[in-house]
């Protein structure tokens, strides 16, 4: 019998969907070891591993075991953290360690620092290997090992879990700008100073990223609360108006290059990421916000209109149009007008009671007012409805009065307006 592993030799399953379809078609239930070997062979990331485990009914424990072993085998960041080799360049290690401290240790919250590096695949562009390290466990020696990874990135903000998701961000550590294609970095810094950009808000740090610059505005104790994040996003967008050449990026899970790491691209050679400007500026959201965003002015609250009641002494008296809910009042007056014409003498009596009480309810907001006037209208009919018939119409109005909306065309059809003469129709409001 051919083993599961040998069965797929020579086949290309860089897409997990193809691998799942293959096993399902062959009616094979792969083991944990087989899935693990496939994940290593095709360098699947955590999302793809989860997709495979779900497809074949593996437990959460199996998923974590497979993911951890795969990452230890092929994730270059995991290999560097778990390895023994480390960078001997003290200046670069100090710069990277300070960069991490400046970003992630200005807040007192617990969380994880997520690192990343490019992952070359056949199916996806701009894919990243990721690796999360708890703040409580990261050390300078670990950073020295991490710097052996080329093109190393660090997430600007701290994550609550190991996941790189906006909803999991626990602390917003800095506002940032990513500007590409800056050849003369020091000249760019001097240009910004001369143009007065630093007078608006001075950067905490500017890093030469190899292909451009990364600008940071450090924040202190800016926890990612639901009401604070939208305001931080407004500040971030306002920064782009000061630096229009920057990429329009403002997401909370952005990766930027780690100070002291290497920029390694075949077309541009190897460069070292390094700081070109640094100040002691650390902002609170309350300090930096007013510098960039206009103060929030709440919209004036509209005064709630008072309920207008029909005159009890003369329920059919004309109510001026400027009163509250003029359209509903007009429609109620139209029904009164139709009643005076005798439009409800022989037919349409229930419709008259229903729509009259409906429009009175909407105009006054009072069901008792609508009920009282409906009975008065019924008593004026040539052949009044029975009490139970009126009660049935009022029950519908009370239950659905503010739910149903009737267009003018619908009302004309239901009330048979087309049966009126042209002169009579001109009397309607």
Residue with the two structure tokens 């409805």 = 385
What sign results for the dihedral spanned by CA atoms 407, 408, 414, 415? positive
Q: What was the pLDDT predicted at 297?
A: 65
Q: What was the pLDDT predicted at 128?
A: 85
Residue with the two structure tokens 């810094």 = 189
Q: What was the pLDDT predicted at 203?
A: 95
CA 309 – CA 324 distance, rounded (Å): 10
Ordered mean pLDDT values, 10 residues apiece, the chain (429 residues): 42 76 89 89 85 92 89 88 92 96 89 90 70 93 95 94 88 92 91 93 93 93 84 89 86 92 85 93 90 74 54 44 62 85 83 87 83 88 87 84 76 80 75
The answer to whether the CB of 270 falls within 8 A of the CB of 263 is yes
The answer to whether the CB of 310 falls within 8 A of the CB of 404 is no
Residue with the two structure tokens 């795969």 = 70
Q: What was the pLDDT predicted at 392?
A: 86
CA 350 – CA 328 distance, rounded (Å): 19
The answer to whether the CB of 230 falls within 8 A of the CB of 320 is no
Q: What was the pLDDT predicted at 302?
A: 67
CA 248 – CA 185 distance, rounded (Å): 20
pTM above 0.75, yes or no: no
Three-class secondary structure of residue 154 per DSSP:
strand
Terminal alpha carbon distance of the chain: 88
**Phi and psi at residue 3, to the nearest 5°:** -75, 160
By the 10 Å C-beta count (0-12 exposed, 13-18 middle, 19+ buried), 117 is classed as: buried
Q: What was the pLDDT predicted at 71?
A: 82
Q: What was the pLDDT predicted at 47?
A: 83
Q: 361: left (phi > 0), else alpha (psi -120 to 50), else beta?
A: alpha
Structure tokens at 74: 């092929």
CA 240 – CA 237 distance, rounded (Å): 5
CA 232 – CA 286 distance, rounded (Å): 10
Residue with the two structure tokens 């006054």 = 364
Q: What was the pLDDT predicted at 7?
A: 44
Structure tokens at 152: 């190393």
């Amino acid at each position: 019998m051919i083993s599961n592993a040998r069965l797929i030799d020579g086949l290309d399953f860089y897409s997990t969907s193809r691998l799942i379809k293959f096993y399902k078609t062959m009616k094979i239930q792969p083991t944990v070891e087989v899935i693990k070997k496939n994940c290593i062979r095709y360098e699947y990331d955590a999302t793809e591993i989860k997709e495979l485990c779900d497809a074949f009914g593996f437990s959460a424990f199996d998923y974590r075991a497979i993911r951890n072993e795969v990452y230890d085998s092929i994730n270059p960041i995991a290999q560097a953290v778990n390895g023994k080799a480390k960078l001997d360049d003290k200046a670069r290690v100090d710069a990277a360690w300070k960069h991490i401290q400046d970003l992630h240790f200005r807040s007192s919250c617990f969380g994880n620092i997520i690192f990343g590096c490019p992952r070359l695949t056949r199916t996806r562009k701009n894919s990243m290997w990721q690796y999360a390290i708890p703040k409580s466990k990261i050390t300078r020696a670990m950073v020295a090992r991490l710097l052996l990874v080329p093109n190393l990135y660090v997430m600007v903000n701290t994550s609550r879990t190991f996941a790189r998701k906006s909803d999991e961000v626990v602390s917003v550590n800095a506002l940032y700008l990513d500007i590409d294609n800056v050849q003369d970095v020091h000249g760019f810094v001097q240009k910004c100073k001369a143009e007065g950009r630093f007078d608006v808000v001075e950067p905490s740090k500017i890093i030469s990223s190899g292909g451009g610059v990364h600008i940071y505005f450090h924040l202190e104790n800016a926890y990612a609360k639901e009401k604070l994040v939208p305001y931080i996003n407004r500040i971030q967008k306002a920064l782009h108006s000061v630096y229009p050449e920057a990429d329009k990026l403002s997401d909370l899970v952005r990766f930027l290059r780690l100070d002291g790491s290497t920029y390694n691209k075949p077309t541009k050679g190897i460069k070292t990421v390094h700081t070109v400007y640094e100040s002691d500026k650390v902002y609170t959201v309350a300090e930096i916000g007013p510098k960039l965003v206009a103060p929030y002015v709440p919209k004036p609250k509209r005064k709630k209109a008072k309920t207008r009641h029909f005159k009890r002494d003369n329920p059919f008296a004309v109510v001026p149009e400027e009163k509250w809910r003029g359209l509903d009042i007009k429609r109620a007056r139209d029904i009164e007008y139709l009643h005076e014409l005798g439009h409800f003498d022989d037919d349409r009596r229930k419709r008259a009671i229903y729509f009259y009480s409906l429009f009175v309810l909407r105009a006054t907001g009072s069901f008792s007012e609508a009920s009282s006037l409906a009975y008065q209208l019924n008593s004026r009919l040539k052949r009044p409805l029975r009490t139970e018939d009126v009660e049935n119409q009022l029950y519908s109005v009370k239950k659905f009065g503010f739910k149903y909306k009737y267009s003018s065309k619908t009302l004309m059809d239901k009330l048979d307006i087309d049966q009126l003469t042209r002169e009579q129709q001109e009397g309607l409001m």
